[in-house]
Structures are given as C-alpha cells and as structure tokens.
Amino acid sequence: MRRFPLVIALVLSLAACSGEKTADSEPSASPTTAVSAAPVPANAPVILAFGDSLYAGYQLRQDESYPAKLQVALNAAGTPVKVVGAGVSGDTTAAGLQRLAFTLDNQPVKPALVLVGLGGNDMLRGLPPAETRANLDAILAELKKRGLPAMLTGMLAAPNMGADYTRAFNPIWPALAKKYDVPLVPFFLQPVIGNKALLLSDNIHPNAQGIDRIVVATQGDVAKALKAAEDRHGA
C-alpha cells in the first residue's frame, strides 16, 4: 500500500476537489465571528463531537475549535446546547473505536447526539478502505446499541491515492449513513477547500476563520439532527 506525506496528500485533495479557485482570496465576514458566547442553560442537551484534529482544534485556542464555535452559533440561533469536544489529533478510525467506550462511559451527561468525524488520517496513512469502513461501522453500531443518535461528517480521498482507492474510500460515509439512517455532512472541509486564507500554514487544517465557515455550513444540519434525535427520544 502506498503511503503519502500528510501535507502532500491533503494539499492535492484541496486543490483537486475545490469547485472554486479561491486560494488567494480573503475570507468574508462570517456570521459566527461577531457572535458572543451566551451562557448555556444548565439543562441544555449535550452534543459529543467525537473525532480527530478537525474536531480537536489543531493549533487553535480552545474557544476557536469547531465544538466551541458550534456551541456558540447554535445557542445564538436559538438552539440551546452544550457541545463537548472529544477530538484527538492523529486519531484513525481504529484509534477512535478503541477509545469510544471509555469516552462514552465517562460522559457526565448522556449525549443527545454524537458527531462522528474520523477517517482522514486513515486515508493519509494509506490504510485499506475496508478497515476504515469496518471501524466506522463498529462505532455506529456501538452508538446504536447505547441508544445514542449519531451524525457523520465525511471525508474524501486525495486524488493521488488513485482511482481504485477513491472508489473504495469515498462511498464509505454515504453508505454507512444510509445503513444506520443517520444524517451526513458529505465533506467536512468543503467550505475551506483551496482557500489559503482559511487554512493554517500547513495548508491542511482550518484556521479560526476557516472554522467559522465550517460552522456556518454545518450548524443547520446539526440543529436539524439534534431536533430529530430529541423528537425520537421524546416520542
């Protein structure tokens, strides 16, 4: 199995997948940029953001991470919620599966929704897509077993992984979303692709403004998923 440096792989992925060439453009003002953090109600439902560096807020302050900014945006939009970050930089789907039970068992409040954002590191390390699929399947099966609604945020293969790898890797998230009947964000990094002004100097991870863009693009889907989960629980 070929292995590709993380930087090369994802930079090529960003360049190839971008539908709009905005690498040198400045980011416009984001709605979440001006939103101040409001107190979270004590009885607010909990969303657990379980993933890798994209959830962990790589090289960002804690309040600039995706879970932190998602919480601010949702509360500001009228969806009371506490978003708990459970992202670990470098995690593969296998590593995520290994720590899943421990993470869930140690939550003081049962999550109303679990966001699952893993798989990018599998691709960047050239791990077999069948293993990625099996690990994500096992994660979703465990969440279902525990009665925890889930939502997937997906990843795409870098083009230099080859057509065969891409054909096996990219359908993993849509297929599992269908199998478990869970909401899906097809490609988590779509809002920042090809825009250097929204990325850290590694041209891989979103900077604080990039996180703002991702929050704006995903918060509606998350709010909808949370409401559906609460409706099902209350039914």
Measured distance CA(195)–CA(111) in Å, rounded: 34
Contacts of 148 (CB under 8 A, 6+ apart): 104, 110, 111, 113, 114
User: What's the one-letter identity of residue 206?
Assistant: P
Phi, psi of 117 (to 5 degrees): -130, 80
First-last CA distance in the chain:
48
The token duo for 3 is 């292995």
Q: Please list the active-site residues.
A: 53, 202, 205
Q: Are 66 and 28 in contact (CB under 8 A)?
A: no
10-115-142-100 Cα dihedral, nearest 10 degrees: 70
